[in-house]
Amino acid sequence: MARPRILLTRKWPSACESRLAGDYEASLNADDRPMGAEELRTAMAEYDAVLCTVTDRLDAAAFEGATARIVGNFGVGVDHIDLEAARAAGVTVVNTPGVLTDATAELAMTLILMAARRAGEGERELRAGHWPGWHPTHLLGRGLSGRTLGIVGMGRIGRATAERARAFGMEILWWNRSDTEAPGTRVETLADLFERSDVVSLHVPGSGETSGLVDLDLMEALGPEGILVNTARGSVIDETALVEALRRGTIAGAGLDVYAREPEVPEALRGLDNVVLLPHLGSATLETREAMGMMVADALDAFFGGDTPDNRV
């Protein structure tokens, strides 16, 4: 019996690729070159499974005439996949929740610390040869102990971020669309959360409901000493409003790992000193990325073995 034909749209950790190549007729992307829309549509019509990433947009057209029976998403967010079109075409979609929780929460804390302590500004100054030496008022930042962290979205990553922030002595407020058990104090509205927080960290999925969720009004509520951190999806923040807020001092700073039109980062953002910019590193530890790939492989094994895979979206 012929082995299922699978395509990896990007290069994956070698341990994952070795496993998949051993179990399936696998086409790998050795050059790690992003695939275009037409290539993705062709792949959906030629393979039994397409293993995509957050950089691959599988729109409705990709599912027209698709022979692929399953899409394995290397990541949690699936806003780049037209799920309604997938269901209509009878294509199963799976993702990788849970395994990237700790890594993403760690990166959220990295951004909080970097923005609060102005670490990015300091490194740029030093590397450029402009450090004048130690003096009492140089790059004064803000400590975290006794400050309030507001968390938008209290899922796995939100909870993990809260636990880490509490170890730094931060008080926790949180807002979630539904009630849940979580550390800290729940608030009823986003406006209240932003007004009462010193730092706000975003942990909601990217979707039509959350697009532009954080606007200028919420940033004004956060205030001129506030810090905004995003490790969720770039679309959650109105980037134009964010640039204005950072320029005018409406908020003190921001830490971003995601952007609305990745890999494009607005020049206006890149030119600001009071924002930390990272290239989507949320899950970027070897352990996490290997675990993500193995989770997709487990889902394929279950699916092609006639079972219902875990983490079906």
Vertex 255 angle, CA 32 and 136, to 5°: 130
**Annotated catalytic, 233?**
yes
Q: Which of 38, 225, 262, 287 is catalytic?
A: 262
Q: Which residues contact residue 25 at a Cβ distance below 8 angstroms, ignoring those fewer than 6 apart? A: 2, 3, 4, 5, 6
Q: Which of 41, 156, 233, 289 is catalytic?
A: 233
Vertex 211 angle, CA 205 and 217, to 5°: 115
Provide the 10 A C-beta neighbour count for residue 102: 18
**Annotated catalytic, 130?**
no
**300 sits in which H/E element:** helix 286-304
Q: Which of 106, 142, 280, 290 is catalytic?
A: 280
Check: CB of residue 221 under 8 Å from CB of residue 194: yes
Length of the chain: 313
Structure tokens at 4: 């299922």
**Annotated catalytic, 262?**
yes
Q: Which stretches of the chain are assigned E, i.e. beta strand?
A: 5-8, 25-27, 49-53, 70-74, 92-94, 148-152, 171-175, 185-186, 199-202, 227-230, 253-256, 275-277
Q: What's the order of all strands across the beta sheet hosting 92-94?
A: 25-27, 5-8, 49-53, 70-74, 92-94
Catalytic residues: 233, 262, 280
